[in-house]
Amino acid sequence: MHKIEAPGATQDNRFTEGDPSSGVPATELSASFMNAVQDELANVIQEAGLTLKTAGTETGDQLLAALNAMGVNTGQFQDYSALRTYSTGEVVRGSDGQFYEFYDRDQAGTVQGVDPTDSQNRPHVWMEWDGVKPGTTIEWRSETLPEGYLENDGWQGAPRQDYRRIFAAFGTTHGAGDGSTTFGMPEDRGEFKRGWDNGRGVDPGRSLAAHQWHAVERHIHALPTGTGIDGSGHWGVDDQYWQHTNSAGVNNTPSTGQTAGTYHDDDGDGSPSGTSWTPGNYADETRSRNNAVIYLTKI
């Protein structure tokens, strides 16, 4: 391409509108210059694999489409273009407004002409992108799992290639799978989480991700007697009623489901009164109040 050299051009080869009042002519558009411009633009469009439009069919965006297809516009989060070649990890905005990442499960390296809004192309090629770092565990409260996550269900057959980013984060911490092509996912179903002690000394002797069985801290229950206690509002057991529990007839044949407890006898008649006595909640484990959730890991 060359600068304008036609009659009326300035000394530095630029266009001018001229000045009729002073006799300065406008720059002429020479055929050689216009052809040079046409060839330059047409070559870019054709190099991108596009077919030039014919007169009357121009859409005004062929050059832009060509630049996108050739990777000139390489910024993340741009609108998806079927003409552009994408590399692993790039994020685009689909025609539905959702952002998608070129996950590239099969490690092809690049992709072109594969629409991320087509569910048939997800999540092995494209995957919905929400900005969460691969390997991050999140809490989820719906049985409909989001795209791009695996449940922490202890699966020991997770393919190391298909889920390479989780494997890069976890390694074989949660199981080695078959030892070569698969690995283990965490088993978080029915479990609480606890921060790793990591040398603090509150919960020593554990490695990261180690499972811990439930337990009740060793303790005693103080039960006062009635001796020497005067006044209302103090309750205990009279000394004369303390007996060995293995004595005949004294709680030696308890029934399943029965429990013992203490209560207020505000009116002194030997039966519960005042504040209601609730024996408590009993189960096969020690636990706090809780809500059931699903733990997921970002692919």
**pLDDT tens for residues 232-241?**
555 555 555 5
- Token pair 């590399």 is at which residue? 87
* Residue 273 pLDDT: 52
pTM above 0.85, yes or no: no
**What distance in Å separates the CA atoms of residue 136 and residue 122, rounded to the nearest whole number?**
20
Q: Which amino acid is at 121?
A: N
Say whether 158 sits in a helix, a strand or coil: strand
Q: Is 263 left (phi over 0), alpha (psi -120 to 50) or beta?
A: beta
Task: For residue 297, count other CB atoms closer than 10 A to its CB.
Answer: 24
Name which residue leads in pLDDT, 3 or 135: 135
Q: What is the pLDDT of residue 220?
A: 72
| 141-151: pLDDT as tens digits | 999 999 999 99
pLDDT confidence of residue 235: 52
8 A C-beta contact, residue 236 and residue 226: yes
Cβ atoms 177, 157 nearer than 8 A = yes
Q: Is the pLDDT of residue 228 over 70?
A: no
User: If you average pLDDT over residues 105-121, what whole number do you get?
Assistant: 95
Q: Tell me how crowded residue 246 is: count the other CB atoms within 10 A of its CB.
A: 8
Give the whole-angstrom CA distance, residue 261 versus residue 11. 107
The whole-number average pLDDT for the span 267-273 is 55
C-alpha to C-alpha distance for 81 and 83, rounded to whole angstroms = 5
CB neighbour class for 117 (10 Å; exposed up to 12, middle 13-18, buried from 19): middle
Host H or E run for residue 170: helix 164-170
User: Does residue 157 carry a pLDDT above 90?
Assistant: yes
Q: Is the pLDDT of residue 11 over 80?
A: yes
The whole-number average pLDDT for the span 53-66 is 87
* Whole-number Å distance between alpha carbons of 238 and 204: 44
Q: Is the pLDDT of residue 286 over 90?
A: no
DSSP code of residue 72: S
